[in-house]
């Protein structure tokens, strides 16, 4: 009975993204785990995070500490206005790992977030990608909340595509790779929207898999009004 109750306690702390395919494959975001969303530039990584943040605030009612390290994207976070009590945005920009840890610890004493989200690894002051991932993975265990991190995949931080992919797989608990179709034949049932394939290539807690959904990049959003967070996820 004690083991069953302990398991239920763990499951109750898992945070769902409310993106159905992602949650079905991964089981959600677990305390003490590092999930990496990686992809090439303009693949929709930040837009996916924006949707996940809105979903967690709206449906999970969990507090979120969001490190937005890229000043150019500040304007798009007005999406979170109606969730102000659940979303704390730290938009200080380029930061060291020690500063991120300090702010996480401070937030645990006050704001007490249920998840930490960082956009993105390239703007964290650290010598190597591996050092960033290892630090954040250990940090997630120390503060006992899930950390969700975006990162560019390919020629980043002096790493080739294949070597950076190996570093991601070795130093994360869940690794999701976002690709992007340029072929108009890969449109969804609306006929004018392109689908982005998402592959769960590592899942420490279960199996991987593939699915597709429409994710507009931040660059596409510049030509559109701000999307309300209650929009269905396939139509972001």
Give the span between the Cα atoms of 84 and 100, in whole angstroms: 21
Instruction: Determine the structural domain holding residue 76 and report its residue range.
Output: 17-235
DSSP string, 131-191: HHHHHHHHHHHHHTS-EEEEEE-SSBTTB-HHHHHHHHHHT-SEEEEE-----TTSB-TTS
pLDDT classification of 11: cutoffs 50, 70, 90: low
pLDDT value at residue 144: 96
The answer to whether position 2 is within a domain reads no
Question: What's the CATH code of the domain at 156?
Answer: 3.40.50.300
The answer to whether position 12 is within a domain reads no
The answer to whether position 7 is within a domain reads no
The answer to whether position 4 is within a domain reads no
Per-residue pLDDT of 167-218, as tens digits, reads 999 999 999 999 875 544 344 444 445 578 999 999 999 889 999 887 765 4
Give the span between the Cα atoms of 152 and 201, in whole angstroms: 15
The answer to whether position 3 is within a domain reads no
The answer to whether position 1 is within a domain reads no
Per-residue pLDDT of 24-62, as tens digits, reads 999 999 999 999 999 888 788 888 988 899 999 999 999
Calculate helix-pair angle for 129-143, 161-170, nearest 10 degrees.
20
pLDDT classification of 9: cutoffs 50, 70, 90: very low
Omega into 71 within 30° of 0, i.e. cis? Answer: no
What's the total number of domains in the chain? 1
pLDDT value at residue 60: 96
User: Residue 234 pLDDT more than 50?
Assistant: no
Specify the pTM: 0.82
Q: Answer yes or no: are the C-beta atoms of 65 and 90 closer than 8 Å.
A: yes
Give the span between the Cα atoms of 215 and 46, in whole angstroms: 9
| Highest mean pLDDT of the ranges 67-81, 87-101, 126-140 | 126-140
The answer to whether position 6 is within a domain reads no
At residue 149's C-alpha, the angle toward residues 145 and 152, to 5°, is 170
Across 139-154, average pLDDT: 93
The answer to whether position 35 is within a domain reads yes
């Amino acid at each position: 009975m004690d083991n069953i109750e302990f398991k239920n306690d763990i499951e109750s702390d898992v945070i769902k993204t409310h993106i159905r395919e992602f949650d079905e494959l991964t089981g959600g975001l677990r305390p003490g785990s590092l999930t990496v969303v990686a992809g090439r530039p303009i693949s929709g990584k930040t837009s996916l995070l924006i949707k996940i943040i809105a979903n967690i605030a709206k449906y999970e009612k969990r507090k979120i500490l969001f490190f937005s390290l890229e000043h150019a994207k500040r304007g798009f976070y007005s999406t979170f206005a109606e969730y102000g009590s659940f979303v704390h945005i730290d938009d200080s920009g380029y930061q060291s790992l020690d500063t991120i840890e300090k702010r996480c610890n401070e937030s645990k004493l006050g704001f007490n977030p249920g998840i930490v989200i960082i956009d993105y690894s390239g703007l964290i002051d650290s010598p190597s990608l591996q050092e960033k991932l290892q630090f954040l993975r250990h940090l997630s265990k120390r503060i006992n909340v899930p950390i969700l991190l975006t990162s560019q995949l390919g020629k980043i931080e002096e790493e080739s595509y294949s070597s950076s992919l190996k570093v991601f797989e070795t130093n994360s608990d869940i690794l999701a790779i976002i690709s992007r179709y340029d072929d108009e034949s890969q449109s969804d049932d609306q006929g004018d929207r392109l689908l982005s394939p998402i592959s769960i290539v590592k899942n420490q807690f279960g199996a991987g898999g593939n699915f597709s959904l429409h994710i507009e990049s931040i660059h596409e959003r510049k030509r559109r009004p701000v999307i309300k967070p209650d929009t269905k996820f396939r139509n972001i």
